[in-house]
Structure 1
C-alpha cells in the first residue's frame, strides 16, 4: 500500500467532478462544476480547469499523484479511439476525451501522464465491488436506474470492458420481442423502454394516472405506489418485472453473485426493491440464479469518482 493517489474524473449530464482517489478508495480534494454542454470547447475548458485546480491543490499540500488518470463518462464510449458519444451530452459526441484529459494532466503535473476511459455505469459497478455493497464479490452487476438505465459488470475484481468499452450496456437488453420503442434511440423492447423513470411515468400516463396534471415525475409515481394508488403500483410492478428479466439474462450469462442497484429511481427503496426482488425470484428457476443477491447501493454520490479511481489503479497494476 502506498500514499499515492490517482486523479479521477466523472462526467455526467448535469455535472463534471474531479478528485484524488487513494489505493483504498478514499476520495480527496473533490471538486465539481455544472456540465456546460453548449460546445466541446466549453466542456474542454471545464475539464482543464478542474484538472489544474485539483492537481494544483495536491501539489501545494505535498500530496503524491501518479501519472494515470481514470475517467468515467456517460456513454456510449469508444476506448479504441479514446472518444465518447454520450446520449445526454450531444456536444461531446466524438470528443477526444482521453487525449484532452491526458494533455491537461501532463501540463498540470509537469510530466507525461496518460488517461484511461470507462463508461460511468462500469465505474459505478467497480466502486460497489471495491468498497460498496458488493465489496469483494467475485462476479457482480452494478445498475443505475434513473432517467435512463446504465450498468457494468465486474468479474474477478476487474471491469468487463468489451471490444469498445461498452460491456454491461444493460439498457439495451431485450425484454419484450418487438416491444415498446425507446424514445430517441429507435430500439424496441429493451429494458429502458419499460423500467426507467420516464418510461414508467409515461406508462402510467397512458393508463390515466394523474390525467392532465403537470409536473409529475418518477418521484411522484413511487410516492403514489407507496401510498397504494393502484395504477402506480401496477406500473411499477410491470417496470420492475422487466428490470428483473434483464437481471436474469445478465446473471445467466455471467454467473453473477451480486447485483447492486443505484440511481434516482432505486432511491425510492422498498416500493421498488420489493417487487423487483419478488419478480426476480419468480423468474429465476435454477439454484445458481435464484441465489443472486440484489441490494441497493451503499455508496454516496462520489461512487463515480471512486470507480474512475479504481479504473486508474487497475491500469497501474495496483488496487
Structure 2
C-alpha cells in the first residue's frame, strides 16, 4: 500500500518552499520548488511566489502522487492569527493580516479539490519535525528553535502541540534576555532575536570593530580565534541560554533542539547556552534539560509543515 502525501509549504523572510512529503517524513524527489520573498517585495509579488512554488510542485508531480495527497500543511513566520488564517511576519512588512491560508487553499484546490489546509508558525512546525524524525524523538516535552535570520520556536507539552489561542505560543525569539539592551523590531528591548540571530550577532561584532559581513565569515573568524568574533558568539549563546532557562522554568521541558543556519556558527554557541541554563542550580527540573543540535536536514521546515497533516493527532 502506498503512503499518503502532504503538500508542505514553508514561508520565510527570504523564500517560500513547497514539496510533497510522505508519511515517513521523506520529501519526494523532484517535488521541491522554491520562489523568492524578501522584505522589499510587494504584496502581489509575495502572493505570486507562493502560488508559483505550489503550482510547480503540483504540476511537476505524477498524477498517481497527486492522488495520494490527503492534506496541506503550512509553516509560516509569525506572528499569525490561526483562527482567521492570517499572517503578519515581522520581516515581510507588506503582509499584515494577510490571508495566507486562503491563498494556499485556493492554489492547491485547483489541482487537489477539498483537501484540508492547516497552518501554524514555522517554529511549531520545526518542533513537530524534531519530535517526529529529529533530535527530540522519544520526548514529550519539547521546544524546537530556529536560530537564523531570526529566532523562532515552538512547544510540544505532554505530547501535544501548544499553539495558544492565536497560534503564537512558543515565540521564544521575543523573550527578553536579561542584561542586553539591543532594540528589537517587535518593540521590545533585549529580545533574544535582537541579540542572537545571525544578522544581529554580525551587527554587534561590526559595532565592536570587526570587518566581516556574514554569519559564515563570523564563523571563520571564530575558528581562528579572532577576539571580537569569539566575544560575539559567546554573547549570543549566553542570550539563547537565558531565554531557554526562562522557558524551561515556566513550562518544564525535557529537551530543546536548535537548528537554523546560524546555529552552526560554533559548538561554543551551545556550550554558552548550556552554561546559562546550568546557573539555575537550585532548579533541578531546569538543569536536567538537554540542549541538542537539530537532527534535521535542510528539508526540516517542509517536514514540519507536513507533520501538521501526518501527525495531526498531536496538533491543537
Counterpart Cα distance in 1 of 2:204 and 2:25:
40
In structure 2, the residue matched to 1:194 is 195
In structure 1, the residue matched to 2:9 is 9
Q: 1:258 aligns with which of 255, 259, 269?
A: 255
May I ask how many residue pairs the two structures share in their alignment? 312
> 5 Å matches for 1:134-213?
134-176=136-178, 179-207=180-208, 209-210=209-210, 213=211
SS class of match (1:150) = strand
User: Do 2:196 and 2:239's aligned partners in 1 also have CA atoms closer than 8 Å?
Assistant: yes
In structure 2, the residue matched to 1:27 is 27
In structure 2, the residue matched to 1:290 is 287
In structure 1, the residue matched to 2:109 is 106
Q: Show structure 1 runs of 4+ deviating over 6 A.
A: none
User: Do 1:180 and 1:193's aligned partners in 2 also have CA atoms closer than 8 Å?
Assistant: no
SS class of match (2:35) = strand
Q: Tell me how far 1:316 sits from its aligned partner.
A: 7.0
Q: TM-score, normalised by structure 2?
A: 0.90
Q: Which runs of 5+ in 1 are unaligned?
A: none
Q: Which runs of 5+ in 2 are unaligned?
A: none
Counterpart Cα distance in 2 of 1:56 and 1:195:
40
2:232 paired with 1:243: no
In structure 1, the residue matched to 2:303 is 306
In structure 1, the residue matched to 2:264 is 267
Q: Tell me how far 1:169 sits from its aligned partner.
A: 0.5
Mark the CA change 1:67 to 1:4 in structure 2 (over 3 Å): closer, same or farther. Answer: closer
In structure 2, the residue matched to 1:77 is 80
Q: TM-score, normalised by structure 1?
A: 0.89
SS class of match (2:279) = helix
Q: Tell me how far 1:32 sits from its aligned partner.
A: 1.6
Q: Tell me how far 1:180 sits from its aligned partner.
A: 1.4
Q: Tell me how far 1:239 sits from its aligned partner.
A: 2.1
Mark the CA change 1:204 to 1:41 in structure 2 (over 3 Å): closer, same or farther. Answer: closer
SS class of match (1:92) = coil
Counterpart Cα distance in 2 of 1:198 and 1:48:
29
Counterpart Cα distance in 2 of 1:147 and 1:62:
34
Q: Tell me how far 1:41 sits from its aligned partner.
A: 2.3
2:224 paired with 1:227: yes
In the TM superposition, what whole-angstrom CA distance separates every residue of 1:40-92 from its partner, at most 9, and x where no partner exists? 22232332333333233445244533442100011111112111101112233
With 259-268 and 29-38 compared, the bigger mean Cα shift is at 29-38
2:100 paired with 1:97: yes
